[in-house]
Amino acid sequence: MKLMRVGELGQERPVVLDGGRYYDIGGLTEDIDGRFFADGGMAAVQRALSARSLPELEPPSGRIGSPIARPGAVMCIGMNYAAHAAESGSAPPEQPVLFYKAPNTIVGPDDPIVIPRGSVKTDWEVELAVVIGTRASYLDAPEDADDVIAGYVLANDVSERAFQLEVSGGQWSKGKSCAGFNPLGPWLVTPDEVGDPQALRMTSSVNGEPRQDSTTADMIFPLRFLVWHLSQYLVLEPGDLINTGTPQGVALSGRFPYLRPGDVVEMSIDGLGSQRGTCVAAP
């Protein structure tokens, strides 16, 4: 099944898409957030679908929000594709590179991409993201990650490279946490519908011109390993988000111009849907 949130910012309502039909799950939960996952919300929705007890809705015609409400943590893995590390001027990492984005960077999949004040190097990054469904600490093995993953989602890890690398002070968060820098969605897709998460094509384009075209098979550290690895150092909570890295084809490579107001960024991942965001200048 696919979970989503529809409606204007701050007024989203939770919806499930199953078998091509949309159903209102507002009677089961106020929102798709950490409490929803912790209280067994996924299983409750599945039971309601099996019982055919959910009100059916017309397909959404307005804004689609992020499929999860504001997470407690947004964890990101840097340079997790060898070709992207090379185009960034770095050797492939020997251990996963972890950085954080502010949770308030999460926006809907088609919301405007805001170019920050003073930015000259705003960049795009198509990524496969993991949503945690169960509290996890010190998992025994990577295979145990399947027990704590609620689903997968398409993410754009928008980055301002000058903020990230030139005035960073040694950490990346300045260039990763600007307003609206994590378009997410349109759906949270459960693992049973995704199949092998390491065999998904991922693409991005700017103004209709191809930028990234790769597959998750090229990850240096597979996502199950990443979930296990992170659990050895921190506690993963229900509703947390993990962005698992981007392939080659970003502006940082020097092969493409950085984003400017008016540019249209589109991206997709097999089975996870697509995004289309128009760049606008910060107010």
Closest by CA to 240, choosing from 131, 112, 137, 136, is: 131
In this prediction, the residues of the chain whose per-residue pLDDT falls under 50 are: none
**Contact call for residues 237 and 73 (beta carbons, < 8 A):** yes
pLDDT for 177 equals 97
168-205 pLDDT tens trace: 888 899 999 999 999 999 999 999 999 999 999 999 99
CA distances for 52 relative to 16, 49, 56, angstroms = 12, 5, 9
What are the phi and psi torsion angles at 248 (to 5°)?
-65, 160
Are 239 and 132 in contact by the 8 Å Cβ rule? The answer is yes
C-alpha–C-alpha distance, residues 29 and 44, integer Å: 10
Nearest-angstrom CA–CA distance, 240 and 92: 26
pLDDT at 4: 98
CB 31 within 8 A of CB 22: no
Please work out, in degrees rounded to the nearest 5, the angle formed at the alpha carbon of residue 189 by the alpha carbons of 186 and 195: 135
| Torsional class of 259: left (φ above 0), alpha (ψ -120 to 50), beta (otherwise) | beta
> How many Cα neighbours within 13 Å face the side chain of 185?
24
Q: How far apart are the first and last CA of the chain?
A: 38
Handedness of CA 83, 88, 91, 97 (dihedral sign): negative
Extents of the domains making up the chain: 2-64, 69-281
CATH for 69-281, options being 3.90.850.10, 2.70.70.10, 3.40.50.720, 2.40.30.10: 3.90.850.10
Bridge partners (DSSP) listed for residue 153: 129
